Amino acid sequence: MNQRVIALDSLLNTGVTKRKGCAASGCGGAADGPDDMAPEVWAKVRDHPCYSEGAHHYFARMHVAVAPACNIQCHYCNRKYDCANESRPGVVSERLTPEQAARKVLAVAAAVPQLSVLGVAGPGDALHDFTRTFETFTLVARTLPDLKLCLSTNGLALPDHVAAITALNIDHVTITINVVDPEVGTRIYPWIFFRNRRWTGLEASRILLERQMEGLERLVAAGVLVKVNSVMIPGVNDEHLKAVNAAVKQRGAFLHNIMPLISDPAHGTHFGLSGQRGPTPAELKELQDALAGGASLMRHCRQCRADAVGLLGEDRGQEFRLDQLSATTQTADPAPRLEYRAMVAEARADRRRAAKAAAVRLAPLADVLPRRVAVCTKGGGRINQHFGHAREFQVYEVDRTGVRFIGHRRADNYCGGGFGQDENLEAIIAALAGIDTVLAAKIGACPRSRLAEAGIAVIQTYAHEYIETSLSALFASGLAPQALAS
């Protein structure tokens, strides 16, 4: 293993260097890479954890909450709800001025070399009060020009700001588009605020849709990569999202991210209070599978807070609260980030080589149903996390055609303060519905036994291996889960 891969391992705290010969065994393979797209597009997405599934194993993003107000109301949103442990769009612990945001970005950049992206994603709409968003980006671009800039918007104000977006080199924009039929939109949007007046009903939905489509087309024409987010709401727009996928593909969207509705009465949203349920993981997967051949799907979104900091799936936001900023280092020195990116480039090339080896191993095998497996990982594309520490499980499907990331399942971790938490274990078992195999770096005897009772085998054999190498070996073994776990 070369020195750069060892240094990367220590930054990600993956523990790979504790065992011998892992990297030499070959493995891994990001789901995307330079062979899959034009060089200029690869250069834009290579280090972006949301636009590249492969990058999300290595790179961090941060959101700064400089956009407090919104120009539309959605039935799934309540920006007043605020809980530091809650991870979902629109939730923040503190709102920032552009100057405060710029100081916070400097502090995070000094402490987190994995940082590659700064985004404005709320808690309101990034383009409703665009001056705060653009001032933040202007300040940050002056001191940290190596960071990619991106923003999220509902699209209502978007056509008015395409020129400013391109002038500021914001080359990633997310538009939330839930419908392409205004009639369906009336069940999601009670009102919009546009041209100094409030619009309701069909007219509100029609205006919003027209503005979204105009904004999407103009951004694509300007060379900006556009991701479309859609909230999947069973019985409201779930079937309709097939038409949304086709429409945004036709207009050149780079990715389509279908997010399950998060609905809970405690959040105080219209859908939460009216009992509208979100989709199950199986329903989401079924829709995603039905969209094969349509606009490319993002499957690794974590529906982050509007003040999230860190790798996707972790949130270090509480380490960088405003009241802590005076005690943190703030430096614009890009050297640690550039060094880190060079290390990642080598590690990803190694992983792609290994992915090819995994594909060669799988290709001659029998054409049987795919196997679905959850893995515990802290990053780097490896099985490198203790089961008890996992707060999310990444889910892969493997068959003779390859290893595919299909999503993640979340639950509070089993180990808390050195003790196992039985109620969390039951929640984990529920979250893993439909999955009978978990790969972890380690697991204690008690939780392993309870999981076995629930029909879930936890396998430690592949600790610290790349995910693709492990899954291809597991599939090639052909053994039933319980046989492997014994």
| Interface region with ligand SF4, contact rule CB under 6 A, candidates 38-46, 123-131, 189-197, 301-309 | 301-309
Half-sphere exposure of 426 (CA within 13 A, CB side): 2
Does 303 help bind ligand SF4 (rule: CB under 6 A)?
yes
Pick the closer one to ligand SF4 by CB: 199 or 320.
320
Does 232 help bind ligand SF4 (rule: CB under 6 A)?
no
In the complex, minimum distance from the CB of residue 49 to ligand SF4, in angstroms, rounded to a whole number: 6
In the complex, minimum distance from the CB of residue 313 to ligand SF4, in angstroms, rounded to a whole number: 8
In the complex, minimum distance from the CB of residue 179 to ligand SF4, in angstroms, rounded to a whole number: 20
Does 112 help bind ligand SF4 (rule: CB under 6 A)?
no
- CA 178, 180, 186, 189 dihedral sign is positive
Buried b / exposed e along 210-228 (16+ C-beta atoms within 10 A): ebbbebbbbbbeeebbbbb
Q: What share of the chain is helix, strand, coil (3-state, %, to 5)?
A: 40, 20, 40
Among 132, 172, 302, 341, binds ligand SF4 (CB under 6 A): 302
How far, CA to CA in Å, does 109 sit from each of 76, 117, 249, 331, 444?
A: 33, 10, 35, 7, 36
Among 147, 301, 398, 429, binds ligand SF4 (CB under 6 A): 301
Q: What is the DSSP letter of 123?
A: B
Nearest-5° angle of CA 88, CA 279, CA 368?
115
Buried b / exposed e along 117-142 (16+ C-beta atoms within 10 A): bbbbbbbbbbbbbbebbbbbbebbbe
How far, CA to CA in Å, does 121 sit from each of 61, 162, 244, 294?
A: 11, 17, 22, 26
In the complex, minimum distance from the CB of residue 61 to ligand SF4, in angstroms, rounded to a whole number: 5
The residue behind tokens 């219209």 is: 270
Among 57, 61, 285, 382, binds ligand SF4 (CB under 6 A): 61
Pick the closer one to ligand SF4 by CB: 61 or 382.
61
What are the φ and ψ backbone dihedral angles of 396, each rounded to 5 degrees?
-125, 155
In the complex, minimum distance from the CB of residue 306 to ligand SF4, in angstroms, rounded to a whole number: 9
Residues 371 and 132: their CA atoms lie apart, in Å, by 48
In the complex, minimum distance from the CB of residue 429 to ligand SF4, in angstroms, rounded to a whole number: 25
- CA nearest neighbour of 295 among 264, 250, 263: 250
Pick the closer one to ligand SF4 by CB: 234 or 310.
310
Does 299 help bind ligand SF4 (rule: CB under 6 A)?
no
Does 312 help bind ligand SF4 (rule: CB under 6 A)?
yes
In contact, 142 and 168? CB cutoff 8 Å:
no
| Interface region with ligand SF4, contact rule CB under 6 A, candidates 91-99, 297-305, 408-416, 464-472 | 297-305
Site string for ligand SF4, 358-397 (x = CB under 6 A): ----------------------------------------
Residues 205 and 334: their CA atoms lie apart, in Å, by 44
Site string for ligand SF4, 21-50 (x = CB under 6 A): -----------------------------x
- CA nearest neighbour of 409 among 380, 429, 386, 385: 429
Burial class (CB in 10 A: 0-12, 13-18, 19+), 486: exposed
Among 304, 373, 395, 439, binds ligand SF4 (CB under 6 A): 304
| Interface region with ligand SF4, contact rule CB under 6 A, candidates 155-163, 298-306, 393-401, 433-441 | 298-306
| Interface region with ligand SF4, contact rule CB under 6 A, candidates 91-99, 139-147, 296-304, 422-430 | 296-304
Pick the closer one to ligand SF4 by CB: 2 or 318.
318
In the complex, minimum distance from the CB of residue 393 to ligand SF4, in angstroms, rounded to a whole number: 16
* Contact residues: ligand SF4, CB under 6 A: 50, 61, 301-304, 312
